[in-house]
Structure formats: structure tokens, C-alpha cells
Structure 1
Amino acid sequence: MTLLSRIPLVMDVDTGTDDAVCIAAATLCTDRIELLGIGAVCGNVEIEKTARNTLDLIDFLGCEAPVHIGASRPLARPLCTAVSHGTTGLGDVALPAARRGFAEGGVTELIHGAAKRHPGGLEILAVGPLTNIATALTECPELLALIKRITIMGGAIRGGNMTLASEFNLYCDPEAARIVFESGCALTMVGLDVTLKPELPRHIFDRIRAAPGPQADVVARVLDFMMRRKDEFGADDPNLHDVIALAAIVKPSLFTFESYYVHLETGGEVTRGMTIADFNNVSKRPPNALVAVDIDADGFWDWFVDLFGAGK
């Protein structure tokens, strides 16, 4: 594969534990993606922590992608954070302080600059609340014609993990999510319907822990925390939500997708952030999302361990 065939990609993250795994994996996908920059958004923890975690991680991995600081709160609501990532966002994983600073300009500037350099080809991977992405689309309407696709980790067409009906990222900023879903930009939704399926097997963890390199090192430490937090704190299973969304970009053959018009609900005690697929074409509206509905879990784990050089 030639370098010309690589996907120009901007990532938008709220770096907690599974974001860190996704970022580490992305830096190993240089044959498939050109990582142009990373935006940080509030979500799993406060923006000061998500941004610092992202910069420290990228520096530790030896990646030169610039890191831009984004939104410190949702568009119209108080900040909502998660508890399962610990107070810092990375559990008990400590990284050396980055030797470089944050890039100048916000995430809108990052996306706009990348889109102008790659008109019609830029893809965005957003694995946190969609505040930065909605802000960019609102502030720069011309982005709609420049962005090829936005892939999100968020939502679910059945069930939730924040409420009975809604997933965490979209629950945190449903107004931003609605802007993105209704923007007209090509959108792939990788939600709980697939990200809850590949639960981390112990033998996969052991193989990553034995693999060489800084990516495997930091991912093994993060996975170790994720496994312990379930046993020690009663937290959720160590599912790798965000890296599964990355896989949908670089290894789409692992997934089954269906096209739906998806309505984003912004209100309700249970339905805030709910993604409602129009299965029966009640709305008579054209599809606005390509939704991942199934995944080859064994194939995903094969791809994951191969990426980290974790031989059998």
C-alpha cells in the first residue's frame, strides 16, 4: 500500500482509558492513516485532564501529531464526567510529562486547516462527546463540503450505558450530537451495539503485555487497570469502545453496517442522548448514518494483537 492511499485523519478524544488504547493503536496504523492532529474535549474527565493525558501519551509514543485543546463544557449543559476512568482519566497509569506544548488554535482551527489541505478526503474519528465537532461544523459551514466522513464512537440503536436508552458520549452533550447527526455530513455510528461485544479475553491481555514497544507497554498498563477496576470497584467490563471505532475506519470488513435515519433525542430523564433508528421509515427521511450493527469479534482481536506485534 502506498502512502498516497492513506486516509487523512483527525482524531477527537476525551482521553480516558479506552481513548488511550485507541490513540496508541492509531499510531500503529501508519499504513492506513495519516494522523494530522488530535483534538481534546471534556468528557470522561475535565478538559485540563483529557488534554494533558492526550499530549503526554502522544509524546510518550513518539508521535508528532499536534494536540489542540477544545471545549471545556458541553454546548448547553453542565459538564458530566465518568467515574470508571479514575480521577486523572487514566486510572493509575502515570506517564512522563510531555516535552512539548499544545498546538496553537482550537479544534475548529485544526479541522478547518486539515480539511483545506485535504478537500473532500478528510475523515474525523470522534470518540468522545461531540462538542468540538458540532462547534466546528457550526462555525465553519464550508466544512460540510470538505469532510469526507465522520466516524463516531457513540450511541446505540438498542439500549444504553448511561441511562436505559442512551450511551455516555451522546448523553454528555446531546445538543452537539444532534447538530452532527443533522449536519448532512457522511456519518458512521459505531455504538454499543458492537462495542460491547468483544469483551477483553485474558489471553489477549497476556499477549499485549508480552509485546514489545511503547504502545504495547502503555496499553498493557491501561488494560491491567481496566481489568482490576471491574473486580475492585464494580466498574464496567473492560470493553475497548474507542479502538473498535478506529477499526471501523481501517478494517471495515470486520463489521456489518446498515443505513438508517437516526434521530438524536435531547430531552427526557431516560431518553436524553438516545439514538433512535427509523427502522420502519416512519419519518420518510433519507438515512443520515451508517450504523455498525455487528462485528466479527474474533477477527477484531486478531487485528488488535497483530497491530501490537503480539504473537501467539
Structure 2
Amino acid sequence: MSDLTQHKAGNLDILRKIPVRKTPFKAQAPDKFESTCFSKQPKIPVWFDCDTGVDDAIALLLLRHLTCFDLIGVSTVAGNVELEKTTHNTLCVLELTGDDVPVYRGASQPLIRDQIMAPEVHGKNGLGDVELPQPSKQLEAKNAWDALYDAALAHPGELVLIAVGPMTNIGLALAKYKNLPQLLKRIVIMGGAAKGGNTTPSAEFNILVDPEAADMLFNCGVPVAMCGLDMTLKAYLTPEELDELGNLGSPQASFARDCLQNALRYSLSLGFGGISLHDPAAILYAADESIFEQYPAWVRVETKGAITYGKTVTDLYSDKKMPERNHMVVTDVDREAFKARLFNLMKRYNG
């Protein structure tokens, strides 16, 4: 066998590990949800960076009851809507959850490119035009990137950063604090896609909003788990399931149903069968990976292309494999298990 044949055969073996399914993915591992996600000790210190629109709001609702996490801080960034709105929404939703966690205002603009937003999905106010009561909670004085660094210093080698919006705050933190990568344990993001995009044919929204910041993240040396469209589009609720969620009986569940209505209509207009809960899927992945499928990969972001700007470029499906395959690309989720976990957490607001 020639070297070339051996090379291709070896890569085909890797590709065969990524199945093409005719039926939905089902997790094979025993369900660890109760033992993992509600464990008392040791708690995982977590920083949550968000651009609170409708699915970020649901993610915040879930975080309240994931007792495996010690939520150190929340930072806001412009993305789904303007920074003023994402910050206000974050304070409002945290008040609804009853979680008293510090909130830090982040970047109002991407590092380089012009701002883009998604009011067609999230409504004018970012919460599907649902109005929550004015929060009593106040913002912290410190900015997001300084606060993130201080949290990493306080938890060296332990802090998990979960980012479900544009990566601008992280890019600013990495640029200012060169030792930040050595302080972080891992980064989990909602963003990107190994195949395709949503905002453009090649780019997913969170990455496209600030491709330069996202590329800094993938190139900083910290292991990144990319919960992209490959997986999150499969983490959806049908209209009937969303109604079922809203009927759980708590104000939080009613809010979840109501704030998702605009996004649901938009999703149905595109031909989807329900509403994908992108950010909640990333949260549940960070808590317990057992219902998700994932593969190691090299990932960078295209920052120069005229028609591929913002694309997450990965060697996951390519013949050529890069030597630095230190990230994980999450490709699938057991939807029924995802839905069960979502409902489990939301039922906890009933007392």
C-alpha cells in the first residue's frame, strides 16, 4: 500500500466515525443528569457571557437550577439587539430567576466590523417584545473583560467560560490579558457550524457578528467546545411542546413560552418544525455531555473571505487533518433527552 493510500485510508477511518443517520441520534451512555447536574460538590465555577435575547433568557432560567455550577458572574455584549437592551434583559431575567449574581456590561460594538443584529428573531426589545418588570438589581461598575479576568485569577485553572453571544468581550479580554488562556479550564460556546450557516450560507450569527474576536478565541490555546448549528438545530421544541412548557404553572415557564413566540413564527416561516433552543443546548452540554455527540477538531474562523467571512473552518470532515486538534465540535444531541432535561429544570420553579 502506498503512502498516499495509507494516508487516505487512515482519514476514511476517522470519517467513518461520524455517522450519517436515517434515524435521530440516541444517547447510549446511562443518563447521568441527576447525579451530574445537581451534584453538591465540587461545584464548577462558571462565567456566562451573553447577548440576552430569547434563547439566552431560557439559558439563564436553566442556570438557576443547575447546582453543579457556581455562577461567578454574567457579562453582556451587543448581539441579538443593542447592548443597552441585552444588559437590561439580563438584569430582568435574573430577577425573574431569583438569582443574585453580579452582572457586568460589555462591548457595544464588534472589534472591527459594523454591527449586525437579529430583531426579526428576538423582537425589538430582544425578549420577543415581552415586557418584564423593571429590575431592582444594579449593574456592577467594572467592565466585562476586566471582571472576567479577575474571576479567572480567583479560580486559576478551574473557571469554565460559557459564551452564547458574539465573542467580543472575550477578544478584548484576550488582547488585554495575555495570561488569561493559562487561567481558564475550558470554553463552551454557542456559535459556528461545521457545515453551512444561518445568517449567510457559510456563517452562523454569533460568529459573523465578530469574526475577528471569535478567531482569537479559537487560536488562544484554551480548549473550546463548539456547540454550533450542527447540533443546536436539532435541540428544538415543536409548537405543541412549547405550549406544554408554558403550561407548567410557573411565571418563569409562562415567560419562556411567551418570549419564544416571535422566534417560533420566524422559524416556522423558514420551514422548520419548531423553535431551536441554541443557547440552552450549550448550557446543558456544559453541565453534562452524555446526551451529545462530539468529535475532536481543529477550528479557526475565516476573517478575510469575501463570501465566507465569519465561517468556522474545521478539519472535521476533510481529508487533511491539522496537528492542533484541541477543540471539540458538537454534532448531535438526543432530542428527547434534551427536552426531558429542559422540562426537568423548568419544573423546579414550581417549588
TM-score class, shorter: over 0.9
Give the one of 174, 177, 193 matched to 1:137: 174
C-alpha separation in 2, matches of 1:117 and 1:214: 35
Letter in 2 for 1:293: T
Q: Which residue of 1 aligns with 2:340?
A: 302
- Contact 1:229–1:235 (CA under 8 A) maintained in structure 2: no
Q: Please list, as runs of the form range in 1=range in 2, the aligned pairs for 1:32-181 lying within 5 A after superposition.
A: 32-82=68-118, 83-181=120-218
Contact 2:152 2:183 in 1 (8 A): yes
Question: Which has the higher mean CA deviation after the structures are superposed, 156-165 or 109-118?
Answer: 109-118
- Measured against aligned partners, the alpha-carbon deviations of 1:9-52 in whole angstroms (never above 9, x if no partner) come to 110001111111111111121x2111111100011111111111
Q: 1:195-224 deviations in whole A, cap 9, x for unaligned?
A: 011331234213311224343232122233
Question: What residue is the counterpart of 1:286 in the other structure?
Answer: 324
Structure 1 distance, partners of 2:121, 2:105, is 23
The 5-angstrom pairing of residues 229-268 of structure 1 reads 229-230=266-267, 238-268=275-305
Structure 2 vs 1, CA of residues 79 and 210 (structure 1 numbering), >3 Å: closer, same or farther?
same
Match of 1:12 in 2: 49
Residue type of the alignment partner of 1:153? M
CA RMSD of aligned residues (A): 1.9
Could you tell me the TM-score, scaled by structure 2's length?
0.83
SS for the counterpart of 1:253 is: coil
Instruction: Rate the CA distance shift 1:235–1:96 in 2: closer, same or farther, 3 A.
Output: farther
Distance 1:225 1:95 in 2: 16
1:182 is matched with: 219
| 8 A Cα contact 1:207 1:305, kept in partner | no
Q: Is the 8 A contact 1:7 1:33 kept in 2?
A: yes
Report if the CA contact (8 A) 2:292-2:334 is conserved.
Answer: yes
- Whole-angstrom distance in 2 between the partners of 1:187 and 1:61: 28
Give the TM-score taking structure 1 as reference length.
0.93
Alignment check: 8 A CA contact 2:128 2:261 kept:
no
Change (3 A) 1:245 1:265: same
Question: How much does 1:86 deviate?
Answer: 1.3
Alpha-carbon distance in structure 2 between the residues aligned to 1:283 and 1:210: 48
Structure 1 Cα separation of the partners of residues 279 and 187 of structure 2:
14
Matched-pair contact (CA < 8 Å) for 2:78–2:107: yes
Q: 1:225 matched to which residue of 2?
A: 262
Residue type matched to 1:3 in 2? K
Counterpart of 1:89 in structure 2: which amino acid?
Answer: G
Number of aligned residue pairs:
309
> Bigger CA drift: 273-282 or 165-174?
273-282
Structure of higher CA gyration radius? 2
- Structure 2 unaligned residues grouped into runs of 5+: 1-37
Distance in 1 (alpha carbons) for counterparts of 2:102 and 2:271: 32
Q: Deviations over 1:67-86 (max 9, x none)?
A: 10000100011111113211
SS at match of 2:276: coil
Matches of 1:202 and 1:164, distance apart in 2: 26
SS of 1:50's partner is: helix
How much has 1:104 moved relative to structure 2?
1.4
* Deviates further, 245-254 or 3-12: 3-12
How many angstroms apart in 1 are the aligned matches of 2:232 and 2:80? 17
Q: 1:2 to 1:246 in 2, by over 3 A?
A: closer
The residue correspondences of 1:21-36 to structure 2 (distance < 5 A) are: 21-29=58-66, 31-36=67-72
Contact 2:189–2:225 (CA under 8 A) maintained in structure 1 = yes
Aligned amino acid, residue 223 of structure 2: A
The verdict on how the C-alpha distance between 1:229 and 1:92 changes in structure 2, with shifts beyond 3 A counting, is farther
Paired AA for residue 105 in structure 2: I
Gaps of 5+ in 1: none
Deviation at 1:267, TM superposition (A): 2.5
* Letter of the structure 1 residue corresponding to residue 241 of structure 2: I
SS at 2:121 equivalent:
coil
Deviation at 1:251, TM superposition (A): 2.2
- Structure-2 separation of matches of 1:281 and 1:110: 42
